[in-house]
Structure 1
Amino acid sequence: MKFRKATKKDVQAIVEMIADDALGKTRENFQTPLPKAYYNAFENINNDNNQELIIVENENAEIIGTLQLSFIQYLTYKGGIRAQIEAVRIKRDKRGTGLGTKMFEWAIKRAKERSAHVLQLTTDKKRPEAIVFYEKLGFVASHEGMKMHFS
């Protein structure tokens, strides 16, 4: 298994994984060709040193997973760095194989390498199985998250 930084040629596979669940298919626009907005977002992510869009490949160089790490510098915690993990997705036929645990182990190690003092995530309350998975990894629901969506 190989973890690497995503390239523009990976965007189609990433969006396909993001759109391949009950919630993702309602908010993504996966089609061929992909809308330009996805490539614009990729360029913004790719050009930001505090963003890491990661691909996981198997031994045959097949893309089987993805995640995004964001490193947020702030003044609290003595000028600390907070790592946020988002868009963790695994190719449908690879789910339930332990890949998710390996991806989080990699992300935890990477966050520590970047001197983050915390790794945080949000998950939709409509994903109870994900919540159980995160708790087994050691994540604690210590804060109540809130969002304001704009149309």
Structure 2
Amino acid sequence: MSFKRAQDDYDSSFEGDGFVPKRARGGGGSGGGRAYRDPILQPHYSAPRNNGLPSRAALNDLSCVTIGQTLRYHQSSLTAYDRHKMLVNQYLLYHPQSTAFLARDSSQDRRDMDVVRENHQFLWDAKEEPSTWEKALAKKYYNKLFKEYCICDLDRYKENK
């Protein structure tokens, strides 16, 4: 019997329904006849509404949290340069029109052949040094030409054209 009495002494005073909040007893509050819900025991997402399934918003929030944790874990293992490349690539992927202002103006571009045509001279002085890079390019092209035979119109040779 002493053993049975010792077991009764070790009972927890918090077990059972000894404590019922005032709101659950029906007194006070504007809740009316609603059952009392302890906020500590409630899940952190909204209560399921569709046959025990969580709502779409709750699943989306949970998915965003797990994806964010995964991305933070992977980004922490990257170097600064790799992290920068990843973020720039993601930005370009999700905002494709945002780089339109970065394109350079190519309306004033000239090819090498255009520069040679503009600065071409039929005869160059061997001793004369070209004053600009355009003239230097045209003279270099002139020096590479194979000059054994030439068929030309000498009407404008005095104008050096």
Would you call these one fold, judging by a TM-score over 0.5? Answer: no
Q: Return the structure number with greater helix share.
A: 2
When normalised by structure 1's length, the TM-score is 0.19
When normalised by structure 2's length, the TM-score is 0.18
Greater RCO structure (CA 8 Å; 6+ sep) = 1
- Rg bigger for which structure? 2
Q: Return the structure number with greater strand share.
A: 1
